[in-house]
Amino acid sequence: MKRFLRLVVLLAGILTASLCWGEVPGASWDQLTKEEQQSLQPFKELWPSFSPKKQGRLRKNAEKWDRMTPEERRAAKDRFSRWQKMTPEQREVIRKRFSEFRKLPPEEQARIRSRFRWYRTLPAEQREIIREKWHRMTPDERKNMRERLKTMTLDEQKKFLLHK
């Protein structure tokens, strides 16, 4: 009886350790819904080799894709195409900036998103004028501009950027 009890305790310890140190198995391809299988079809052969974390991300993204309108899908494809054309260095800069953005307080993130939405609504010519102004500035001028813009309301920023 003691031997059996030791064996049970040993097996329980091994099982607990394997769950703590190893990965819990992900879903097999057959466990996916028909909709998920259809969306994830390009990954079918590689599916068993993906970590559970990667499988979860792919499933979540497939669900998002299925909820998108055709226009949203087109925009996502365009963004992905631009991403693929970037150099590894450009991608790294974007990853770093995104990481820095995520560290900002939620209010600051919301402010930046609001300004970006406004910028995207501008006609292409006005966006180009703003970009040209920015690229002509020295790093110090850019820093001063950022500080100045932070103290302005959105309406003041719009006037400043479009009429200066």
Helical pair 106-121 and 154-163, crossing angle rounded to 10 deg: 40
User: Given this model, what pLDDT does residue 148 score?
Assistant: 87
Segment among 20-24, 85-89, 92-96, 142-146 with least mean pLDDT: 20-24
Are 48 and 28 spatial neighbours (Cβ–Cβ below 8 Å)? yes
Residue type, 25: P
pLDDT tens digits along 75-130: 999 999 999 999 999 999 999 999 999 999 999 999 899 889 988 999 999 999 88
Looking at the predicted structure, is the pLDDT value of residue 68 above 50?
yes
User: Given this model, what pLDDT does residue 157 score?
Assistant: 82
- For residue 71 the two structure tokens come to 């226009």
Looking at the predicted structure, is the pLDDT value of residue 53 above 90?
yes
User: Given this model, what pLDDT does residue 84 score?
Assistant: 93
Tokens 């974390």, residue located: 53
Q: 134 Cβ partners below 8 Å, 6+ apart?
A: 142, 145
Q: How far is it between the farthest Cα atoms of the chain?
A: 88
CA dist 99 and 113 (Å) reads: 15
What is the secondary structure of 8-29 as a DSSP string? HHHHHHHHHHHHHHSPPP---G
User: Given this model, what pLDDT does residue 2 score?
Assistant: 52
Segment among 24-28, 130-134, 146-150 with least mean pLDDT: 24-28
CA dist 7 and 33 (Å) reads: 39
Looking at the predicted structure, is the pLDDT value of residue 6 above 80?
no
pTM for the full model? Answer: 0.56
